Structure 1
């Protein structure tokens, strides 16, 4: 369950008593070792939270007096340590989109006890990705990743045309890491009931459809423009370029090795998101991050090492934690968490191979596209390559990635 002696505290909230009784029976049948409380009104649930905050709060959406989205927003505001789950049978787009800002995870009624148990225990594991409680509370409050203002405006302009194109909208969203992460989180949620994981923003936009994409609720609840005034000293566009180039290099390597379309898409998706933790820290701690950047440049220290010294955590864990909260795939979480230090991943699994590709692609993009020769290097972990059995492939990967970058730059 967790690696602490204290039991996980879980609160279930639903205005239908028979639903609560059913959840109680299901949890007993699953043999969960949690402290569980059951409450049939949002107002009473808030009072219970005041008395002792919960690790996980699971709420229905439609309740009288205070609906589930509003209730969970109150939990987010006052008890950010609590992880929040919507459990509802109402899956129409307005109710679902209204809950995007409130919930980390979603369950669709009727759900099996094993489904409830799996989501809650997964959230309990995610908690230990990030040991720093103050940073964890802050990220628990996050409901979006800030997006580049110019990309946001271009998407809005396309949506407002007389004949908007889903293909063009998807292509624009794919240019922004924050938009891509949020749209993939939404389309892969249980509300849409898709049997296969969607990894490409363009595919996500097509599946969601124009009505959902152009909904004011979507843009109010899912996307928020980045306040660029907080980014003094940090080139956000360069960060996005690096993420997208790293994703392209990851795709280049997997294609060269003939690893198949699924592996290619998974490596691309993980690489695209690998540095999103930097944006989270930057947008929430602008003054601190400015000091980190200054120290990194003046003392020639890698940014992730400066982050560790300053915050006690680095962007790797921060990004992985948010993806974990959102229920994104394990291969993405592991790739983000360990992309600077892959030897933390002990087993040579498929997830470890994806991490290996992302790690190499990240290092090669830093090596082959030198923005400032004075910056600290991002060397490839040769021990990990040996562990994965790819020591003899690195020079070949570097060659094909270099050729790819030359083609893009017109060199």
Structure 2
């Protein structure tokens, strides 16, 4: 018999705990639910049985929500983490988004809470067979130092705007991932999924973005120890930029154009996660791939039992990015489409292959693949070539 998911709800107010129990009564056949009054009681529950999702208040006496989620992240990495709180000031938001996969503001509707839990349950757990993602590959993404310096300078300018900041953010996959992670909390989007970088920055505003960069050091100087090849991060970033530009052209005029651009920028984000978490071993995987005739994915699976494709898609799925973006990241190494491009996933796979063919491989997933381009696709590629020449 399949085990039902176990959801733990935590709040220091007995009336809120009772209200959650009543509100979620219809879910008893789908989930096993535990209710803990405060952080200490929640830790007792976690020690006693596996838990798939923790839903916690933020401000609690004793062990507060931040301390509880820090413990869950360290000791139970396969458990998804949700903050359900009325604390929405900038400092708390930044702290929350460092620790939680999702944030819901009180009072959340039953539909919001249930949908958020179900979406996180749908993301493969850390030990689910082929989709297993080792604990070491967490959520801290490196950025090129020059981009960080440029972004901080733009944020400090008197005429800082969403447009000026967005121009910089769109050039960097790591910063883009963090911005979209934060903006896809319900505190900003009221249940909508946002994948457009300009819209995300307009919703966040310069002060919060400055906090992301400066207060919590989310965007770290890449490879401070000098472990990885110096040119690797810049090569990967250029590949992501060009892939995103071509993917957007391939989706010109479609409803999925914005998703294609975002996924093009983020499709190699799994490599950044691996390089950040395990730099020495990832360097060895890169070297083995360059010297051999396999793909980088194959080398990663030999060394880590997982590939950057899986790591990146899982991370973005947990962060709440739109399904179309996650699917495109997960499918960027899939067989190339023939004929017209009809989805963000097809656009990203094709853009990735075209850019690798012209600029050199960054993972070699589709090395030697035959590309049969229809007239519409050829036109988009020609426009991309013209844009690059200027």
> Normalising by structure 2, what TM-score?
0.89
Residue of 193, 198, 204 corresponding to 2:194: 198
Kept in 1: contact 2:11–2:56 (CA 8 A)? yes
Kept in 2: contact 1:324–1:333 (CA 8 A)? yes
* Counterpart-to-counterpart distance in 1, 2:365 and 2:290: 8
Q: Write out aligned runs for 1:100-119 (5 A).
A: 100-119=97-116
Residue 362 of structure 1 is matched in structure 2 by 352
Query: Are residues 1:291 and 2:281 paired?
Result: no
Residue of 40, 52, 55 corresponding to 2:52: 55
Residue 336 of structure 1 is matched in structure 2 by 329
Residue 386 of structure 1 is matched in structure 2 by none
* Counterpart-to-counterpart distance in 1, 2:335 and 2:12: 46
Task: Give 3-state SS (helix, strand or coil) of 2:103's partner.
Answer: strand
How far 1:235 sits from its partner (Å)?
0.8
Which range moved further: 286-295 or 355-364?
286-295
Kept in 1: contact 2:271–2:308 (CA 8 A)? yes
Kept in 1: contact 2:243–2:265 (CA 8 A)? yes
* Counterpart-to-counterpart distance in 2, 1:239 and 1:135: 22
Query: Are residues 1:72 and 2:61 paired?
Result: no
How far 1:321 sits from its partner (Å)?
0.3
Provide, for residues 243-281 of structure 1, a one-character-per-residue CA deviation record: whole Å limited to 9, x for no partner.
1101111112222xxx43x32111111111111011111
Cα–Cα, structure 1 residues 218 and 342, in superposed 2: closer, same or farther, change >3 Å? farther
- Alignment root-mean-square deviation, CA: 2.9
Kept in 1: contact 2:103–2:186 (CA 8 A)? yes
Query: Are residues 1:397 and 2:373 paired?
Result: no
Q: Write out aligned runs for 1:23-172 (5 A).
A: 23-128=20-125, 131=129, 135-139=133-137, 142-172=138-168
> Normalising by structure 1, what TM-score?
0.84
* Counterpart-to-counterpart distance in 2, 1:97 and 1:311: 31
Task: Give 3-state SS (helix, strand or coil) of 1:265's partner.
Answer: helix
How far 1:362 sits from its partner (Å)?
0.8
Kept in 1: contact 2:193–2:321 (CA 8 A)? no
* Counterpart-to-counterpart distance in 1, 2:217 and 2:65: 15
Provide, for residues 70-106 of structure 1, a one-character-per-residue CA deviation record: whole Å limited to 9, x for no partner.
2211211222222111111222222222211110111
Query: Are residues 1:276 and 2:269 paired?
Result: yes
* Counterpart-to-counterpart distance in 1, 2:119 and 2:366: 35
* Counterpart-to-counterpart distance in 1, 2:37 and 2:240: 45
Query: Are residues 1:378 and 2:378 paired?
Result: no
Cα–Cα, structure 1 residues 74 and 357, in superposed 2: closer, same or farther, change >3 Å? same
Mind listing any 5+ residue stretches in structure 2 that lack a counterpart?
Answer: none
Provide, for residues 8-35 of structure 1, a one-character-per-residue CA deviation record: whole Å limited to 9, x for no partner.
2221100111111111122222344222
Kept in 2: contact 1:98–1:217 (CA 8 A)? no
How far 1:132 sits from its partner (Å)?
6.0
How far 1:125 sits from its partner (Å)?
1.5
How far 1:37 sits from its partner (Å)?
1.0
Kept in 2: contact 1:102–1:143 (CA 8 A)? no
Cα–Cα, structure 1 residues 394 and 360, in superposed 2: closer, same or farther, change >3 Å? farther
Task: Give 3-state SS (helix, strand or coil) of 1:58's partner.
Answer: strand
Q: Write out aligned runs for 1:205-284 (5 A).
A: 205-215=201-211, 219-220=215-216, 222-228=218-224, 229-232=226-229, 235-255=232-252, 259-260=253-254, 262-284=255-277
Kept in 2: contact 1:87–1:108 (CA 8 A)? yes
Residue 303 of structure 1 is matched in structure 2 by 296
* Counterpart-to-counterpart distance in 1, 2:20 and 2:59: 17
Which range moved further: 50-59 or 245-254?
50-59
Task: Give 3-state SS (helix, strand or coil) of 2:343's partner.
Answer: helix
How far 1:376 sits from its partner (Å)?
7.5
Cα–Cα, structure 1 residues 399 and 367, in superposed 2: closer, same or farther, change >3 Å? farther
* Counterpart-to-counterpart distance in 2, 1:7 and 1:137: 23
Cα–Cα, structure 1 residues 359 and 73, in superposed 2: closer, same or farther, change >3 Å? same
Residue 184 of structure 2 is matched in structure 1 by 188
* Counterpart-to-counterpart distance in 1, 2:87 and 2:244: 36
Task: Give 3-state SS (helix, strand or coil) of 1:236's partner.
Answer: helix
Mind listing any 5+ residue stretches in structure 1 that lack a counterpart?
Answer: 383-390
How far 1:234 sits from its partner (Å)?
6.0
* Counterpart-to-counterpart distance in 1, 2:385 and 2:297: 25
* Counterpart-to-counterpart distance in 1, 2:135 and 2:31: 21
Cα–Cα, structure 1 residues 81 and 407, in superposed 2: closer, same or farther, change >3 Å? closer
